[in-house]
Amino acid sequence: MESLRLPQSKSYLKLIGIPYLSEKTNSCITSDEVDNILKNTYIFNDVVLALKPRVIKISPKSNMAIVWINIWDAQSGIKVKSLINRRFNVGSFIATIHGANINPGVSQCKNCWK
C-alpha cells in the first residue's frame, strides 16, 4: 500500500553569521561542511535540502559568509515558517535564519565576480 504525501515545493532561506573560514581546515568553508553543520543541528532534523548550500563571502575584508539553502517544504510553507528568525551555534558563532526570495540567476560574488 502506498503512503500519501502532501505536495511539496521549495522554500528559500538565508543563514547569516556563518564563519567563512572553517575552524577545522582554516580554509574557505565548503557547501559539504555547511551540510554537515545543518545535519548536526537539531532545528534542521526534519529538513531536507533541495540543493547543496551556496556559500558567499560577505565582503573581501570580512570573515563571515552568507549561506543560501533551498529546502523541500509543504506548499503551505510550514517548515520555513518554523525556521525563520531561529538561531543556532556554529562553533563560537551564532547564526540566524532568515527568509529569502528565489534567485533564478547563477550565484555570483559581486566583489570578485567568481
Three-class HEC string of 48-67: EECCCCEEEECCCCCCEEEE
- The pLDDT value recorded for residue 95 is 95
Domain ranges of the chain: 9-99
CATH superfamily, with its number, for domain 9-99? RRM (RNA recognition motif) domain (3.30.70.330)
Whether the pLDDT of residue 18 is over 60: the answer is yes
Whether the pLDDT of residue 32 is over 90: the answer is yes
Q: Where are the beta strands (DSSP E) in 1-114?
A: 8-19, 48-49, 54-57, 64-74, 87-90, 93-99
Angle, vertex CA 41, rays to CA 16 and CA 52, nearest 5: 65
Cell (9 digits) for 46 = 526534519
Cell (9 digits) for 97 = 535564519
| AA identity, residue 41 | T
Contact status, residue 17 vs residue 85, Cβ threshold 8 Å: no
User: Which of the pair, 15 or 80, is modelled with greater confidence?
Assistant: 15
pLDDT digits over 75-111, tens only?
Answer: 778 888 999 999 999 988 999 999 988 765 556 666 6
Mean pLDDT value across the chain: 85
User: Which of the pair, 1 or 17, is modelled with greater confidence?
Assistant: 17
- The pLDDT value recorded for residue 97 is 95
Helices and strands in the chain: count of H runs, count of E runs: 2, 6
User: Which of the pair, 107 or 42, is modelled with greater confidence?
Assistant: 42
User: Which of the pair, 8 or 86, is modelled with greater confidence?
Assistant: 86
Whether the pLDDT of residue 9 is over 90: the answer is no
